[in-house]
């Protein structure tokens, strides 16, 4: 069964680059790795998704090594409004279960 | 913008009651999901529906059932509520595979007394 591991919390300062890594073994070989952002009292919001190598959009980059046993969400130049919980989501390689990470609580300080 | 609306933000019910949580999406998405979110446990999938009247069990379906009579509406039913079902419940919708981007509602915080 796939298992995901993320740091529980991270601290940063405005303007810094933040990298959050999710370790995930036994993930489906033909499926995506997806990251979500969640603010208090709101549902998670899709940030970015990738299959391999690097994906970049207007808010983040996602780095996935060739073995796909981990992925790193990169947030460039964070601001106070990036303070949130970030989750990775993968699909298990047996039975296709969706597995959310435990979430990383990012705190951005001025 | 996709909108996923959950009928209640807060709900308080008593042990043994039958509880209905409703979710409506306005983007004609095939897939709909129910999760519960608990501190330290993250999000766990309860049920998934990929079409009207079609459903699949998620990780923790025990004590729950679902209904999808119309494409836009997905209901979660607690057959006989128990205190260990006190939680935040999140509904989501999407298209394509299950791990395609999901659009979430803002959740229903359910307390079972």
Arithmetic mean of pLDDT, B68-81: 97
**Structural domain harbouring B21:** 4-93
pLDDT given for residue B99 in this prediction: 84
Residue A98: predicted pLDDT? 86
CATH number at residue A52: 2.60.40.10
Place A109 in a pLDDT band, splitting at 50, 70 and 90: very high
Q: Report the alpha-carbon angle A38-B20-B72, nearest 5.
A: 65
Span B8-58, pLDDT tens digits: 999 999 999 999 999 999 999 999 999 999 988 889 999 999 999 999 999
In a domain, B98, yes or no: no
- Tell me the shortest Cα–Cα distance from A31 to chain B, in angstroms: 7
Per-residue pLDDT band for A1 (boundaries 50, 70, 90) equals low
Which of A29, A36, A37, A43 has the highest number of chain B CBs within 10 A, making it the mutation to test binding with B?
A43
Q: pLDDT: is B33 or B59 the higher one?
A: B33
Q: Is residue B100 part of a domain?
A: no
Phi and psi (nearest 5°) for A8? -70, -40
Find the DSSP H helices in A3-63: none
Residue B40 maps to which CATH number? 2.60.40.10
B31, part of any domain: yes
Residue A78, domain extent? 3-109
Contacts of A68 in chain B (CB under 8 A): none
Q: Has residue A2 got a pLDDT over 90? A: no
Q: In this complex, which of A43, A97, A103 lies closest to B106 when CB atoms are compared? A: A43
- pLDDT class for A26, splitting at 50, 70, 90? confident
Instruction: State the average pLDDT over residues A22-49.
Output: 90
What's residue B83's pLDDT? Answer: 97
Count CB atoms within 10 A of the CB of residue B66: 22
Question: Which of A77-86, A95-104, B2-11 tops mean pLDDT?
Answer: A77-86
Number of structural domains found in chain B: 1
Q: Is residue B49 part of a domain?
A: yes
Q: Chain-centre distance of CA B56, in angstroms?
A: 13
Tally of domains within chain A: 1
Category of A50 on φ-ψ map: left (φ > 0), alpha (ψ -120 to 50) or beta: beta
């Amino acid at each position: 069964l796939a298992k995901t591991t993320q740091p529980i919390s991270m601290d940063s300062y405005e303007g810094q680059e933040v990298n959050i890594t999710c370790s995930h073994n036994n993930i489906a070989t033909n499926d995506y790795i997806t990251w979500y952002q969640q603010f208090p009292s709101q549902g998670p919001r899709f940030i970015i998704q990738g299959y391999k190598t690097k994906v970049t959009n207007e808010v983040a980059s996602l780095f996935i090594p060739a073995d796909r046993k981990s992925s790193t969400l990169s947030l460039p130049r964070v601001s106070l409004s990036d303070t949130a919980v970030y989750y990775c989501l993968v699909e298990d390689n047996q039975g296709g279960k969706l597995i959310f990470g435990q979430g990383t609580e990012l705190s951005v300080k001025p | 913008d996709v909108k996923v609306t959950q009928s209640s933000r807060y709900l308080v019910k008593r042990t043994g009651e039958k509880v209905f949580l409703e979710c409506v999406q306005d983007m004609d998405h095939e897939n709909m999901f129910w999760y519960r979110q608990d501190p330290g446990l993250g999000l766990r999938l309860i049920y998934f529906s990929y079409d009207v009247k079609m459903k699949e069990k998620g990780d923790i379906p025990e004590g729950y059932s679902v209904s999808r009579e119309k494409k836009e509406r997905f209901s979660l039913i607690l057959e006989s509520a128990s205190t260990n079902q006190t939680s935040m419940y999140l509904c989501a919708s999407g298209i394509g595979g299950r791990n395609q981007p999901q659009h979430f509602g803002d959740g229903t915080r359910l307390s079972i007394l």
